[in-house]
Structure 1
Amino acid sequence: MEKNNKLYNDVVIIGAGLSGINMACQLQRKLGVTDYVIYDRASALGGAWTANQYPGCGVDIPGVLYSLSWFPNPNFTSIFPRQDEILAYIQKIANSYNVSQHTSLRTEWRGAKWIEKISRWHVYLEDIATGQQYIHEAKILISAVGGYTNPKYPSLQGMESFQGPIVHTARWDKSYDFRGLDVVVIGNGCSASQVVPAVLDGVRSLTQIIRSPQYYIPTVNLRITRAWQACFQMIPFLLMLIRWVVFWFLETSLFQFYDDQTGKKMRHQSITRSRNYIKENAPERYWPLLTPNYDLGCRRRILDHNYIKSLHDPRLFLTKDSITSVGPNSVRTASGAEYPADAIILATGFQFSQWIGNIIGRNGVSMKQHWDRHGGFEAYKTVAMNEFPNLFYLLGPNGGSGHTSVLYTMECSVDLVIKIAAPVLKRKASSVEVREEPETKWCNAVQEALHKTVLTSDCSNLCALLGRDKVSKYVSLVL
């Protein structure tokens, strides 16, 4: 694409992950719209599944549900597919609708401004390779920016002096070979529970330094045989039936997040199950490090396949001792211990910055000003905001979920955007915008509902950072 001073398409989509690709496909399928462009700063399609390619990476939702309803995949080889299978599936979707022909990669989104006179967005972009900045004009602007691509790096004294590789799970370099090395892993969330057993076999030693315990739920990742794959291909209804069974099974787990008698009873059962699993399968010396003292639901549960079992390996040492500094070949902790390190793996999570940007709406109102008035990130039905015509978020504020597939939520958001944006794209209207009163009413209803759950209870570091009264406004960050 030639980068003139100003380009134009009816639709600009920011983000070439599953949300952006699904949005592009549905524009074509449901509205016949092909006048769109997708921008992404990565070098390939795939979003989080391109960014996260560490050993052991996979999805923790059954693949039958971690797939699009209109594009089922009968070829997954296990119940919880690996990263490479998910990425191949995404690329297959994109190829089916020639999405790559509408995509410009290695491009940074710098902001956007609504131009009232012409009812269009000016989207500010920068070519990462050349540094060239330019404007892309569009009727519709859609943010499909995800939350699992920007690594969160810890600030540790002496990191610059470390002589070996320091690699974040979201910036994995496949050229690294950890065989025969002393490795330190920092973190114990979902990524850590996958990468630790995946790299353990080849290392000389592995020290994992954690901050707080997690709830582990035992799961079995069964293989899907060729016979079953053939059945899914010949009988598509069978795959759809299993999808709905999985969906409704996961929906029943939602009740345990409510702060009522039923929810408390269900959480107690899940907590007991998790603790029994630890006592039956983990080394006794690690039980205190694997037993949370906060309520279930405050953080995302970890579905465990191999991690707890790997703690029996004599090469692995688990500690909660806080890091004080990093040396050229070691990591030092508060107790005075010094752990040898030839390589450091950071499984420290992500910066949730997908809703932070320089976006100016009607009357010069910035996105920050809008959210400051509402007390935090919010959007009507998670996708649209007053004062920002023709602007939509996919998986927007309060759009996350801790109990089911995020793809289901994303599909609902895409379908809603298609309906709202249709009059503009069919030339029946110049702009569409949610009114202030319905937006406020919706967001207040969300807050009231959230305060009936454990998601706003004082159980995470976010509460200490923001204050309990503000946590529900940001709850989608911790799901």
Structure 2
Amino acid sequence: MTRLTIPTEKPPYVVKEEPLGNAKHVKIIGIGAGASGINMIRTLRKNLTNYEFVVYEKNDKVGGTWFENRYPGCRCDVPSHNYQFSWRPNPAWSNFFSPAEEIEQYLNETCEEEHMLDSIKTRHRVSGAWWDEHRGLWDLNVVNLETGEEFKDQANFIIDGSGILNNWKWPDIPNLESYKGDLIHTANWPKDFDYANKTVAIIGNGSSGIQLLPAIQTDVQKLYHFIRTPTWVIPPRIMTMKMMGGPAKDMISQIELDDKENFSPAQIEKFKKDPAFYRKFVKAIERDISGVFPVLLNGGPVQKFAQSKTVEYMTAMLGGDEKLCKALIPQFPLGARRMTPAPGYLEAVRAPNTELVTGGISSVVPEGIQLESGEIIKLDVIICATGFDNTFVPRFPLVGRYGNVQERMKAETPKAYMSCALPGVPNYFTSLGPNAPIGHGSVLTLLEHIARYVARVIGKCQTEGIKAVAPSDAAVEDYARHVAAFMPRTAWAAPGARSWFKGSGGAADAPVTALHPGSRLHFFHMLERFRGEDWDYVYDDGGGANPGRNRFHYLGNGFSTMELDPGFDSTWYLDEEADSKL
């Protein structure tokens, strides 16, 4: 029996009466006005046309992490002149490692002088986002934190720059709320808090804890330092640069610094007046930072050498004290937890008024902390240097094609496409998503590369008639398999080492979710090209003409925006360097 095939009639195709290259209007909503959101404003200005960008920021001011973190001793552990935007150099940094208030000032001045504040709505928090497949739009709920009013907004694209180091959390200790004294988190430090002559506990020895301890130790009466895992405290960075003989060694010898690593006034003036020397200095330090990756490769000669020198340094700074060395010097590889330069920390741990506590905490009681041994330590102040929620679970319902991303992130290991896009979540990008290079040197220049990548994707959608774009499930799964196979090569995945680099709240044997599987330059190289084959597309419907969602509808009326722009060199292809731009 012969089956008859009845041809289905396609809707008539209508040519788009616009030139190739015309950019459709899109609205973009950004979340967070920390370094990521600030840089994104500038990147979109430089790379896109015909768009609207609104950034919702929950705090009173811009700055993100550097607005929120203001505990004594807070500073960046990346050299100052590399912890800045490449497009906004600051030769006037006061110290080799910038204090928090100086970084916050830098970000504020950048916003003001680059006229960015009109794009930012402070005291506004996104409370939910829902993808509408038919319209190709995000519907958002936003709360005005000044008035309490909740209102709706919509956008073609969301760029989530809320970060992973500003959603602080209390430690999971029973009866924490029962404490009657001052209970403080380092990321929510009370202004002008007086800790002098008090009995103080610092819980945690991550970067916040080891910066805070030497800053307050000399002023408190008694300091109890509670830790549960040793951590690597590396020698001063300048000493390390000289010892390892890296690219910065010769430049460091030409720089005037005092014993607290402050730049001399003459040095700052030279940076301002000699741009060539300043740039040479910045690039030398950057090369040194980018060359750290071999230290993290398990069993390699660089790691062995660096680890042996770090053990020597820590032992010397601890005065060879057997008890302190056993408690503080890790047995896991160098780099399994974040390597932190901590001037004064090891010396402060040895001070007569400091007591290191490694025994487990049973609970908090009204007068202090009760140990598992039953002993109660009476305290005036408990300071929790216990970090942030690094689970990558969105802070609001984010509902894409597969439902609420919050539920999916809680149920399985977080996965992303090259850290900046999620499967089944169209037109959504994140600056520092799962397996981003957060531990790979200066995050500010990393954000620049991510922002340019995101801008290229949005620009493609604007000019090629794409309504929705998301990484394919297969591409994300393949990328996740590569990450999982690569990480055991590194110290980050060391079994038995608790770290916020890992999922499941930093559990010792959890997979690495917070770091990129490669070096800093490897990440930059990876984002150079947009792999269109890894993405799924939904095309525009032609504005009602309904050309069957033809992917080539954007080709338009046969003309190019290039030839219609009187300021464009329409014979650029005759230039000698044209063939070098492949």
TM-score (norm 1): 0.89
Identify the residue that residue 162 of structure 1 maps to in structure 2.
Answer: 179
* 1:360 is the counterpart of 2:396: no
- The superposition leaves residues 293-350 of structure 1 with CA deviations (integer Å, 9 ceiling, x where unpaired) of 2222221112121111222321111121222233333322223433231111111111
1:458-477 residue pairs with structure 2 within 5 A? 458-461=495-498, 471-473=511-513
Deviation at 1:409, TM superposition (A): 2.1
Distance 1:61 1:123 in 2: 36
Q: What percent identity do the matched residue pairs reach? A: 26
Q: 1:254 to 1:445 in 2, by over 3 A?
A: same
* Residue identity opposite 2:308 in structure 1: T
Deviation at 1:404, TM superposition (A): 1.7
Give the conservation status (yes or no) of the 8 Å contact 2:33–2:56: yes
Identify the residue that residue 302 of structure 2 maps to in structure 1.
Answer: 266
Deviation at 1:33, TM superposition (A): 6.1
1:69-80 residue pairs with structure 2 within 5 A? 69-80=86-97
Give the conservation status (yes or no) of the 8 Å contact 1:295–1:459: no
Identify the residue that residue 196 of structure 2 maps to in structure 1.
Answer: 179
* Residue identity opposite 2:43 in structure 1: Q
1:123-202 residue pairs with structure 2 within 5 A? 123-202=140-219
* 1:12 is the counterpart of 2:68: no
Moved more, 268-277 or 156-165: 156-165
Q: 1:224 to 1:58 in 2, by over 3 A?
A: same
Deviation at 1:118, TM superposition (A): 2.4
Secondary structure class of the residue paired with 1:451? helix
* 1:37 is the counterpart of 2:54: yes
Deviation at 1:88, TM superposition (A): 0.6
* 1:280 is the counterpart of 2:316: yes
* 1:376 is the counterpart of 2:413: yes
Q: 1:41 to 1:244 in 2, by over 3 A?
A: same
Give the conservation status (yes or no) of the 8 Å contact 2:332–2:496: yes
Q: 1:327 to 1:276 in 2, by over 3 A?
A: same
1:113-132 residue pairs with structure 2 within 5 A? 113-132=130-149
Identify the residue that residue 328 of structure 1 maps to in structure 2.
Answer: 366
Distance 2:147 2:60 in 1: 14
Distance 1:426 1:91 in 2: 34
* Residue identity opposite 2:137 in structure 1: R
* Residue identity opposite 2:349 in structure 1: L
Secondary structure class of the residue paired with 1:471? coil
1:55-454 residue pairs with structure 2 within 5 A? 55-219=72-236, 222-259=261-298, 261-262=299-300, 265-283=301-319, 284=321, 285-356=323-394, 357-362=396-401, 365-367=403-405, 375-425=412-462, 428-454=465-491
* Residue identity opposite 1:471 in structure 2: P
- The superposition leaves residues 256-290 of structure 1 with CA deviations (integer Å, 9 ceiling, x where unpaired) of 2223x42xx22222222222112211141422111
Secondary structure class of the residue paired with 2:156? strand
Deviation at 1:253, TM superposition (A): 1.7
Distance 2:164 2:101 in 1: 19
Distance 2:431 2:179 in 1: 40
Give the conservation status (yes or no) of the 8 Å contact 1:378–1:443: yes
Give the conservation status (yes or no) of the 8 Å contact 2:337–2:498: no
Distance 1:16 1:9 in 2: 20
Secondary structure class of the residue paired with 1:64? helix
* Residue identity opposite 2:171 in structure 1: P
Distance 1:231 1:474 in 2: 39
Distance 2:408 2:222 in 1: 51
Q: 1:130 to 1:358 in 2, by over 3 A?
A: same
Identify the residue that residue 4 of structure 1 maps to in structure 2.
Answer: none
TM-score (norm 2): 0.74
Give the conservation status (yes or no) of the 8 Å contact 1:28–1:34: no
Distance 2:508 2:174 in 1: 31
Query: How many residue pairs align between the two structures?
Result: 466
Deviation at 1:369, TM superposition (A): 7.0
Identify the residue that residue 570 of structure 2 maps to in structure 1.
Answer: none
Q: Name structure 2 gaps, 5 residues minimum.
A: 1-24, 239-259, 520-582
* Residue identity opposite 2:288 in structure 1: F
Q: 1:160 to 1:365 in 2, by over 3 A?
A: closer
Identify the residue that residue 5 of structure 1 maps to in structure 2.
Answer: none
Q: 1:206 to 1:212 in 2, by over 3 A?
A: same
Distance 2:53 2:336 in 1: 39
Q: 1:361 to 1:160 in 2, by over 3 A?
A: closer
Q: Name structure 1 gaps, 5 residues minimum.
A: 1-7
The root-mean-square deviation of aligned C-alpha atoms, in Å, is 2.7
Q: 1:385 to 1:329 in 2, by over 3 A?
A: closer
Deviation at 1:475, TM superposition (A): 5.2
- The superposition leaves residues 90-129 of structure 1 with CA deviations (integer Å, 9 ceiling, x where unpaired) of 1111112322222222222222112223222112222234
Give the conservation status (yes or no) of the 8 Å contact 1:388–1:433: yes
Give the conservation status (yes or no) of the 8 Å contact 2:169–2:388: yes
- Bigger Rg over Cα: 2
Q: 1:203 to 1:239 in 2, by over 3 A?
A: same
Q: 1:162 to 1:472 in 2, by over 3 A?
A: closer
Give the conservation status (yes or no) of the 8 Å contact 2:175–2:364: yes
* Residue identity opposite 2:363 in structure 1: S
Moved more, 66-75 or 148-157: 148-157
Secondary structure class of the residue paired with 1:44? coil
Give the conservation status (yes or no) of the 8 Å contact 1:217–1:304: yes
Q: 1:159 to 1:404 in 2, by over 3 A?
A: same
Secondary structure class of the residue paired with 1:192? helix
